[in-house]
Amino acid sequence: MSLVLDPAAQDLLFREARTANTFTDEPVTDEQVQAIYDLVKYGPTAFNQSPLRITLVRSPEARERLVNLMAEGNQPKTAKAPLVAILSADNEFHEELPQLFPHFPAAKDAFFSERPVREQAALVNATLQAGYFIMGVRAAGLAAGPMTGFDFAGVQKEFLDADHTPLMVINIGKPGDDAWFPRSPRLELDQVITTV
């Protein structure tokens, strides 16, 4: 009784949600993507900097180029997923800070004038947002298949630019036949939590 979230929602988001390796042909629509984004955009980031950027790979030509950059074991599922998204970190996120952090617009220059500082912040905060995005996909009744097994330099060159660092590629859709690997164990609380 410690959780206030409805048990069915707990299952949908966590206990029964799995990383999908196969998908049905059912398309993932732009309306679904909009609904997912409208939910996950509220996930917190430092200074509300919101550095996650999402590239939807919709055209068959772009899909083929991406599949060729995936690790071999990731290629078949990336070729077949109804929707594939490239998640990246915008290292120039500070340009949007006056809009995103209006009560302290000077934060842009006071904290983020140096590129290495921005790269570090963008990596941490966009990765956080990638986690929110996966949960949002699940909230839409879809399954996500996040992957870091790909040619990062190749994906950046083919799909992004020097200001955007690839984080992960995510297959999205309704799970198909034999979609799951066996559920792997998780660490117990006492392996993770130290109280001081």
Ligand X SMILES: Cc1cc2nc3c(=O)[nH]c(=O)nc-3n(C[C@H](O)[C@H](O)[C@H](O)COP(=O)(O)O)c2cc1C
- Does the footprint of ligand X cover residue 14 (CB under 6 A)? no
Give the range of 42-50, 53-61, 146-154, 157-165 binding ligand X by CB under 6 A: 146-154
- Does the footprint of ligand X cover residue 57 (CB under 6 A)? no
Identify which of residues 112 and 150 has a Cβ nearer to ligand X in the complex: 150
The answer to whether residues 63 and 12 touch, using CB atoms and an 8 Å cutoff, is no
Give the range of 38-46, 92-100, 116-124, 145-153 binding ligand X by CB under 6 A: 145-153
Identify which of residues 93 and 150 has a Cβ nearer to ligand X in the complex: 150
Total residues interacting with ligand X, rule: CB under 6 A = 11
Q: Quickly tell me which residue has 């490239």 as its tokens.
A: 86
- Does the footprint of ligand X cover residue 184 (CB under 6 A)? yes
Identify which of residues 101 and 146 has a Cβ nearer to ligand X in the complex: 146
Burial tier of 5 (Cβ tally within 10 Å: 0-12, 13-18, 19+): exposed
Identify which of residues 121 and 167 has a Cβ nearer to ligand X in the complex: 167
- Does the footprint of ligand X cover residue 180 (CB under 6 A)? yes
Residue nearest to ligand X (CB): 149
Distance from C-alpha of 4 to C-alpha of 182, rounded to nearest angstrom:
29
Residue from 12, 13, 18, 152 binding ligand X (CB under 6 A) = 18
Catalog residues that contact ligand X under the rule CB under 6 A.
18-19, 74, 146-149, 168, 180, 183-184
